[in-house]
Amino acid sequence: MKKHSFLISIMIILSLVIGCSSQAKGDEKQAEEEIVVIPRAEEILNEMTLEEKVSQMILIGVTASTKAKSIKSWQPGGIVLFADSFQESTKSKMKSRLEKMQKKSKIKMLISIDEEGGTVTRMSRFRQFRKSKYLSPRDLYNKGGYERIEKDTKSKDKLLKSLGINTNIAPVADTPYKRSNFIYDRAMSTSAKKNAKYVRTVVQQMNEDHMVSVVKHFPGYGKARDTHTSVVKDKRKLSTFESRDLLPFASGIDKGCSMIMVCHNKVSAFDKKNPASVSSRVMSYLRETMNYEGVIVTDSVSMVGVKKFAGSSPKAAVKAVSAGADMVCADNGFKGIKKALVKAAKDGTISEAQIDASVLRILNLKLDKGIIE
């Protein structure tokens, strides 16, 4: 990824300690990892406890009933807002609520939302926030091409930021094959090249607007089913991914996307045993082959696709971080996930050096986007 111009190149070589647990095997290929850090990020890290570091690695869902006092107790790296938070609210009430939550956070949070447009709209479906919901990527393209997509992204960023939301879990970089595929309605096109230009357009605009982008769902759904409800296997060849599905993700990396979300599909071309979100091979490919240096976040570990595989959301979180994820996303269960990750760090399943590397990436991102000063 291209370095931001104001980053000061201080190279920190972190030798990762390999845990005796089999879950720590993914650390072996990350024995020496170079991270370009902002000095302030290292200062903050040095003042943090293990529990505070682990909390930064959790992106947790909140509901309309979640109070600011919960944020004070949890101190998460970020929160995810769903439709119920907006349904009975207004612009002024939402802005006030999020300001109160941020004030309770020692390290300012990623306040995120899935506002893709089309079938996935958490906020714009309610008229008190927008006269009409945001259009899907495909509808935008059909109405005005990439120029319309750029304009829509700018409008979306402005509205979200006015409410205190600094992260949009978008754009969708998946390339489906046909209308019947699960991801079709959320994707811009069945053409990987068109999707690559779409991702490039959206990420560039989001960077200009200082909005955190989350390119998803690596390494690409293609024709796979929905992992919200089942364990999904993808048996396509690596050559198919490299000539097709990975193109939009490479485009996002080239434009400096803030984060990449990894899906729960069990992709045999990378790893025949583990879902992508808990696969060290998938994480290594993203880091080493695609040269991605930003934050890697999982899709929600509350989803059946990984929860059933791992046994529980906390266990899935440990497997994901052991494999190389920087953040885990979850619909709920903050305390259980935090407890499991802290235990894994203390018993050597995950090295604290690896945790430090992840937290540095998260802090870098927050400093980069002006979320923390």
Straight-line distance from the first to the last Cα atom of the chain, in angstroms, rounded to the nearest whole number: 23
pLDDT value of residue 305? 80
pLDDT over 60 at 161, yes or no: yes
Report if residue 56 sits inside a domain.
yes
Report if residue 2 sits inside a domain.
no
pLDDT value of residue 146? 98
Report if residue 6 sits inside a domain.
no
Report if residue 94 sits inside a domain.
yes
Report if residue 361 sits inside a domain.
yes
Of 15-24, 140-149, 208-217, minimum mean pLDDT range: 15-24
pLDDT over 70 at 44, yes or no: yes
Q: What is the pLDDT of residues 248-279, one digit of tens each?
A: 999 999 999 999 999 999 999 999 999 999 99
Q: Which residues on neighbouring strands pair with residue 112, listed in sequence order?
A: 80, 167
CA dihedral 288, 109, 195, 290 (to 10 degrees): 0
pLDDT band at 23 (very low <50, low <70, confident <90, very high): very low
Mean pLDDT of 95-112: 97
Number of domains observed in the structure of the chain = 1
Find out whether 333 and 302 touch, Cβ atoms under 8 Å.
yes
Mean pLDDT rounded to a whole number for the chain:
90
> Cis before residue 275, ω within 30 degrees of 0?
no
Mean pLDDT of 190-212: 98
Distance of CA 96 to the CA centre of its chain: 25
Mean pLDDT of 190-216: 98
Mean pLDDT of 323-329: 98
pLDDT over 90 at 149, yes or no: yes
pLDDT over 80 at 25, yes or no: no
Q: What is the pTM of this model?
A: 0.89
pLDDT value of residue 34? 55
Report if residue 79 sits inside a domain.
yes
pLDDT value of residue 27? 42
Q: What is the pLDDT of residues 33-43, one digit of tens each?
A: 456 678 999 99
pLDDT value of residue 347? 96
Report if residue 373 sits inside a domain.
no
What is the enclosing helix (H) or strand (E) of 121?
Answer: none
pLDDT band at 171 (very low <50, low <70, confident <90, very high): very high
Greater model confidence, 29 or 53: 53
pLDDT value of residue 35? 61
Range of the domain at 47: 11-368
Report if residue 75 sits inside a domain.
yes
Mean pLDDT of 209-213: 98
Find out whether 149 and 135 touch, Cβ atoms under 8 Å.
no
pLDDT value of residue 304? 86
Which residues have a Cβ under 8 Å from the Cβ of 298 and sit 6 or more positions away? 261, 262, 264, 277, 278, 306, 316, 317, 320, 325, 327, 328, 329
pLDDT band at 20 (very low <50, low <70, confident <90, very high): very low
pLDDT over 90 at 16, yes or no: no
Q: Which of 171, 231, 238 is nearest to 203 (CA)?
A: 171
pLDDT band at 128 (very low <50, low <70, confident <90, very high): very high
Greater model confidence, 33 or 339: 339
Question: What CATH number is given to the structural domain containing 264?
Answer: 3.20.20.300
Helix (H, G, I), strand (E, B) or coil at 189: coil
Q: Which residues on neighbouring strands pair with residue 233, listed in sequence order?
A: 266
pLDDT over 80 at 239, yes or no: yes
pLDDT band at 12 (very low <50, low <70, confident <90, very high): very low
pLDDT band at 123 (very low <50, low <70, confident <90, very high): very high
pLDDT value of residue 32? 36
- How large a percentage of the chain has pLDDT more than 70? 90
pLDDT value of residue 209? 98
pLDDT value of residue 2? 37
